[in-house]
Amino acid sequence: MAEPGSVDLNLVASTVNGSGSQSANLVLTRALFAMGIPVSPKNLFPSNIEGLPTWFYLRANSAGYRAGRRRADLLVALDRATFAEDVKRLEPGGVLVYEEAFGVPEPGADHLHLYPVPFASLAKSAIPDPDLRKYLTNMIYVGVVAEILGIPDSALEDALLHQFRSKPNALSSNRQAIALGRDYFGTHLTKTDLLRVEPIDRTSGKLLLEGNQTAALGALMAGCTVLAWYPITPSSSLAEHLIGLADRYRVDPASGERRIATIQAEDELAAAGMVLGAGWAGARSMTTTSGPGISLMAEFIGLGYYAEIPGVFVDVQRVGPSTGLPTRTMQGDVSFAYTLSHGDTRHPVLIPGTVLECYEFMQWAFDLAEQLQTPIFVLSDLDLGMNLWMTDPLPYPTTGFDRGKVLHKDELDQMARFERYRDVDGDGVAWRTVPGTEHPLAAYFTRGSGHDEAARYTESDETYTRVIDRLARKLESGIEKLPPPLLEGGSAEVGIIAYGSSDPAVEEALDVLAVEGVAADYLRLRALPMAPSVADFVAAHERVYVVDQNRDGQMFQILQVELGPLLAARLRSVRHYDGLPLFAADLVDAIRPLESTRVGQSAVPLVGAGH
């Protein structure tokens, strides 16, 4: 490792879910964080409640790289079922901490630093209560790892205090378990590896937050007053965070009144209907779901589009098709959500790439929904939503809500007539009223069938065409209101276009490629439909790699259509779709060969698991 304190460590802990390994993993994470080392932890957990293999990935990188790495420098193997496979995930010369009872790993492991630890018997002797024991066994591994890496007790103490701030009486037993591990390593094993971490100062002022958590706070600060949802991994925690915040900040202590309705619907189809009903009645309403829920919302989204009803629809994406891999990550719903529902439709889609943007884009989305009077999608994913990410503090909003074009009694008093669907301002957005407006002009009829500017039923060919054309115009004129793409660099010959949770891997890959002599600029898409600057970016680069975390290169396809053939010719598709988060190496391995041998085919399927 180069300059002092520089760290690039990838730790993998393999345990069984439901065994409480989570808190051990978090203590380790927070301890390194407390040492000032940037960390990004990831849980690979099964779609199951208890007893199946689960993996914890912890990247600690002093340069601040947030993406994970496929192979481990240090593996903690506590699950016999996956022991043999897990050992293969180690880098050559890596460090293996494992339950002694598993026995020496298969041949091929001899190039490793082996630290067998009798976790079970250690725990047995030290912790009488069986439940507590199962749970604390994981803490023992923290002690072992601390000893190996040289994590000071002070850092562990910080972590423990944070982890158990709500249950202080759990502190001592956990502290002891850690000590147990530390002592065992000190007395029975000798360190042969070179892994080491030292305190640096790269985390002060930072927070470790989950995207679903920051999105929930964003919704609360956006003035969301109606949440209708149906539980589904990985989006449930967004709703549950929001409900938790609401219980705390939306309840009138005096009256006990709650300034938000949080309805657990009977399914996603109903949830979507509730969102539209509330949006129609003028409230800021949202739902949060994942792939299967998006499919069930298809019909209602078409109604929202055609009847022009605001609503915020969050899709925390997981692996499809169908039930797919509910606890793995993917960007698989991009094209489906973008034109969801039968007939000609198109919806604004916001794509946050950081937990900070999860917070900001939720507020952006609620304004957009009312500005454009249409359903707004926010596409997050499991990696972004359910893992902890290091972030700058979330800023307090600097502006108020933009409620869009709503006419109230006093404004109607000034008007000769009101027509719900008349484009009076030329931006394609008409004015609306909400039910309950005490004025003879206010009422109108909302329907998903053919209607004219005055919201009257019609089957007229001319009127139908006029209205549907305005809807297309409305979206066009709305583009400037959407989160613009972010641009990095500018003069290179090669460009990379990515979006959402691909950002950390791209950031790291850019540096690696640069070192290898491939300079590339980076444009991060943050919304659809696409801003004009995307075309400029493509026009300014010879070859542009479009990074999709899905099989079919969905964003690549959307770009082909929206950029037109001339620019489309410059696009190359890079695809990652094995359900694991995107790793920098996957990108580098995909782009390197194409750049060294300037042969650009137009699609580079990238079976992430393949290497």
Partner 1 sequence: MATASVKTNLLGLSRDEYKGLATTLCAGCGHNSITNHIVKALYDHGVNPYRLAKMSGIGCSSKATAYFVERAHAFNAVHGRMPAVTTGAAVADRDLLFFGISGDGDTASIGLGQFCHLLRRNVDCTYLVENNGVYGLTKGQFSATADLGSVQKKGAVNQLETIDIAGLAVQLGASFVARSFSGDGAQLVPLLRAALSHRGTAVLDVISPCVTFNDHDGSTKSYQYVKEHELILQELDFIPSQHEVEVNYPEGSATEVELHDGSHLRLRKLGREHDPRDRIAALQVIDDARQRGEVVTGLLYVNPDTADLCTAERLPQTPLRDLDEAQLRLSPGQFRELLEEWA
Ligand X SMILES: Cc1ncc(C[n+]2csc(CCOP(=O)(O)OP(=O)(O)O)c2C)c(N)n1
Question: For binding to ligand X (CB under 6 A), which residues are involved?
Answer: 230-232, 268, 292-293, 296, 323
Shortest reach from residue 295's CB to ligand X, in Å: 8
Q: Would strands 388-391 and 494-499 be described as parallel, antiparallel, or unpaired?
A: unpaired
Contact partner, 400, from ligand X, a second copy, partner 1, none, Cβ < 5-8 Å per class: partner 1
- Helix ranges (H only) for 81-210 are 83-87, 119-126, 130-149, 153-163, 171-188
Taking alpha carbons only, the member of 305, 303, 329, 304 closest to residue 316 is 329
Instruction: Report the C-alpha gap between 27 and 45 in whole angstroms.
Output: 18
Nearer to ligand X, 251 or 269 (CB): 269
Query: How far is the C-alpha of 309 from the C-alpha of 545, rounded, in Å?
Result: 36
Listing DSSP states for 495-512 in one string gives EEEEEGGGHHHHHHHHHH
Choose the binding region for partner 1 from 85-93, 171-179, 209-217, 504-512 (rule: CB under 8 A).
209-217
Q: What are phi and psi of 526, to 5 degrees?
A: -125, 0
**What is the closest distance, in whole angstroms, from the C-beta atom of residue 299 to partner 1 in the complex?**
6
Site residues for partner 1, 30-89, by CB under 8 A, read 47-52
Tokens of 336: 């489906």
Shortest Å, Cβ 141 to partner 1: 23
Q: Which of residues 292-351 bind a second copy (CB under 8 A)?
A: 292, 294-296, 298-299, 302-303, 305-307, 319-328, 330, 332-333, 335-337, 339, 341-346
Where does this chain touch partner 1 (CB under 8 A) — which range of 114-122, 224-232, 373-381, 596-604?
Answer: 224-232
- Taking CB under 8 A as the criterion, the residue among 232, 350, 365, 534 binding partner 1 is 232
Residue 303: both structure tokens together: 């109604």
> Distance between CA 70 and CA 57 in Å, rounded?
9
User: Where does this chain touch a second copy (CB under 8 A) — which range of 92-100, 136-144, 457-465, 583-591?
Assistant: 457-465
Least Cβ distance, residue 591 to a second copy (angstroms): 19
CB contact at 8 A, 324 and 233: no
Cβ–Cβ < 8 Å for 17, 50: yes
Task: Compose the 317-336 pattern: x for residues touching partner 1 by CB under 8 A, - for all others.
Answer: -----xx-------------
Residue number with CB closer to a second copy (41 or 292): 292
Binding residue for a second copy, selected from 551, 589, 600, 604, defined by CB under 8 A:
551
- Which residues lie below 8 Å from residue 215, measured CB to CB, with a gap of 6+? 238, 241, 288, 314, 352, 358, 359, 361, 362, 378, 380, 385
Radius of gyration from C-alpha coordinates of the chain? 27
Contact with partner 1 (CB under 8 A): which of 282, 375, 500, 581?
282
217 binds, among a second copy, partner 1, ligand X, none (CB under 5 to 8 A by kind): partner 1
Q: How far is the CB of 549 from a second copy (least distance, A)?
A: 11
Instruction: Write out the binding residues for partner 1, residues 457-496 only, by CB under 8 A.
Output: 457
Give yes or no for residue 611 binding a second copy (CB under 8 A). no
Tokens of 284: 């800021």
Instruction: Check binding of 443 to a second copy (CB under 8 A).
Output: no
- Cβ proximity to partner 1: between 200 and 261 the closer is 261
- Least Cβ distance, residue 544 to partner 1 (angstroms): 38
Please give the full DSSP string across 356-411, using - where no structure is assigned: HHHHHHHHHHHHHHHHHTSEEEEEEEHHHHHSEEEEPPPPPPSS-----SB--HHH
Residues β-bridged to residue 39: 60
**Interaction between residue 111 and partner 1 (CB under 8 A):** no
Tell whether omega for the bond before 321 is within 30 degrees of 0, i.e. cis.
yes
4 binds partner 1 (CB under 8 A): no
Place of tokens 């698991």: 609
Give me the least distance between CB of 368 and a second copy, in Å please: 19
| Among positions 169, 187, 190, 255, the unique one binding partner 1 when judged by CB under 8 A | 255
Q: Which is nearer to ligand X, 207 or 296 (CB)?
A: 296
Site track 34-53 with a second copy (rule: CB under 8 A), x = hit: ------------xx------
Residues 6 or more apart whose Cβ sits within 8 Å of residue 72: 10, 11, 12, 57, 89, 90, 91, 94
Nearer of residues 176 and 233 to ligand X, judged by Cβ: 233
Instruction: List all residues 6 or more positions away from 52 whose beta carbon is below 8 Å from its beta carbon.
Output: 16, 17, 46
| Residue 461 engages a second copy in binding (rule: CB under 8 A) | yes
Stretch that binds a second copy, among 16-24, 106-114, 465-473, 484-492 (CB under 8 A): 465-473
Q: Where are the extended beta strands (E) located within 222-272? A: 226-229, 261-264
Report in angstroms how near the CB of residue 54 gets to a second copy at its nearest.
Answer: 10
CB of 282 to ligand X, least distance (A): 27
